[in-house]
Structure 1
């Protein structure tokens, strides 16, 4: 049996899940206006293992959201994951945050575009087909009325970045799924297990989140 603990902290959603052989057993998460990841992450991990009647030593691997997303959130999640992998001597698996978000929606036709808010009219995006294969690479995109004009199929938007784009993306081909705001560790299970079986892991010592944009401190007011 393969038990993988999964950590998703790239957005306001602090999410932890436990999966067995690619199937989610338990998931605990909370999305608050202020980031509570540092306080909630370890509490969720311990609670999930206790509820599953397992210990950390029973884990086969740790999977963590690798970004893009919040600089602070990603740092917290990756730091916790790396610490566990070091202490338990188990592999670390990096998971594309946008793919995790895309997997919250099932479609038969068209494409899914997950959108993570990157402030103002900018979003972190990628394009996925009906089987969650990436057909357009991850990018940080400023959204305007011409965005995604090259795609002729129905486009399904998910994520907290999508809501602010409704006023400019008004074509009939655009479908907004407002109920899907944040990625969750619940949708990491199948991806993580597949990577584990293929030994598709990352170097614990050198792994860093995929920030996409450089972190910048707010300008000081004079």
Structure 2
């Protein structure tokens, strides 16, 4: 009986979810800035109790591994590692961007017709992003970019791309005349999708080394020339 606790703290959203045998038992979420450190452990304890379980019943902890807020990722990973150490259970990591994409893919009719581009705001005109198929296969790996009108133009001439996440609004004006650029608002990170994606990793025993695990901060943006990011494709 696998019970997986999922934690998402990579942005302003603080979210936890609990799964048993692949089924969602419950979830709790706050969208209050700078609330993670004071609320995350309380949310975990309350959720487990409300679902009629104890922490001793948890088989593994899944954490949103970034990219995202440095402070948020530190809080999430520290909480997850602490639980894994104390309970002697494995740690699972899921990409924050993959978690966002999984939400949109699940709600998109005929998702095979599109590519999916989650974008997390990294301040100014910078975002953390990647480009994925409907099966979460990478077309462009997770990378930091500085947004400009050249980003993904070649791909946009070939196939519709759905953009979403906290950074997508900054890109929208740059491709306003491109019919293949589609935008969805109000897609926020959630522990529910982190947990769903972690289930496959748990079955394959793709566990992290708890002692050495660090989140994927992806802090630096590398520039190759005037206004051009290395991620332009």
Give TM-score, length-normalised by structure 2. Answer: 0.88
Aligned-pair CA distance for 1:84: 0.4
After TM superposition, what 4+ stretches of structure 1 lie above 3 angstroms from structure 2?
A: none
Partner of 1:77: 76
TM-superposed deviation, 1:25: 1.6
Equivalent residues in 2 for 1:158-177 (5 A)? 158-170=164-176, 171-177=178-184
1:26-175 aligned within 5 A: 26-32=26-32, 34-106=33-105, 107=108, 108=111, 109-151=113-155, 152-170=158-176, 171-175=178-182
CA distance in structure 1 between the partners assigned to 2:175 and 2:86 by the alignment: 48
Deviation at 1:179, TM superposition (A): 2.4
Counterpart contact for 1:22–1:192, Cα < 8 Å? no
Tell me the residue number matched to 1:189. Answer: 195
Higher mean C-alpha displacement, 89-98 vs 161-170? 161-170
What is the RMSD of the two structures over their aligned residues, measured on CA atoms? 1.1
Structure 2 gaps of 5+ residues are 221-233
Distance 1:113 1:78 in 2: 25
- Check if 1:210 corresponds to 2:209: no
Bigger share in helix? 2
Alignment of 1:5-16 (within 5 A): 5-16=5-16
Cα distance in structure 2, aligned partners of 1:5 and 1:37: 16
Unaligned segments of structure 1, at least 5 residues: 215-222
Q: For the residues of structure 1 that align with 2:202 and 2:149, how far apart are their CA atoms?
A: 41
Q: Whole-Å Cα distance in 2 between the matches of residues 76 and 40 of structure 1? A: 11
17-26 vs 67-76, which moves further: 17-26
Residues 33-67 of structure 1 show CA distances to partners (whole Å, capped at 9, x for unaligned) of x2210112111101110111100000000000111
**Aligned-partner Cα distance in 1 for 2:97–2:181:** 18
CA offset at residue 190 of structure 1?
A: 2.6
Does residue 201 in structure 1 map to residue 232 in structure 2? no
Q: Aligned to 2:148, what secondary structure does the other structure show?
A: coil
Instruction: Count matched residues.
Output: 212
In the TM superposition, residue 192 of structure 1 has moved relative to its aligned partner by: 0.9
Look up the SS of the partner of 1:163 in the other structure.
Answer: helix
